[in-house]
Amino acid sequence: MNRVGIGYDVHPYAEGRPFILGGVNIPHPRGLQGHSDADVLSHAIADAILGALGEPDIGYWFPPTDQNIEGISSLKILEKVATIAKEKGATIENVDSTIIAEAPKVNPHRDAMKQCIATALGITADRVGIKATTNERLGFVGREEGVAAMAVANVTFLVK
* Average pLDDT of the segment spanning 142-151: 97
pLDDT of residue 70: 92
* Average pLDDT of the segment spanning 132-155: 96
pLDDT tens across 8-27, in order?
A: 999 999 999 999 999 999 99
Cα angle vertex 18, ends 57, 133, to 5°?
65
Confidence tier at 158 by pLDDT (50, 70, 90): confident
DSSP at 158: P
Minimal CA–CA distance to 83: which of 75, 71, 95, 94? Answer: 75
Tally of domains in the chain = 1
Q: Please tell me whether the peptide bond between 104 and the residue prior to it is cis, using omega within 30 degrees of 0.
A: yes
Handedness of CA 121, 123, 124, 127 (dihedral sign): negative
pLDDT at 153 over 70: yes
Using an 8 Å Cβ cutoff, are 31 and 18 in contact? yes
Q: Is 24 helix (H, G, I), strand (E, B) or coil?
A: strand
* Average pLDDT of the segment spanning 5-10: 98
* Domain span at 100: 2-157
pLDDT tens across 83-121, in order?
A: 999 999 999 999 999 999 999 999 999 999 999 999 999
Confidence tier at 160 by pLDDT (50, 70, 90): low
Q: How far apart are CA 152 and CA 160, in angstroms?
A: 25
pTM: 0.96
Please give the radius of gyration of the chain, using alpha carbons only, rounded to the nearest integer. 15
CATH classification at residue 91: 3.30.1330.50
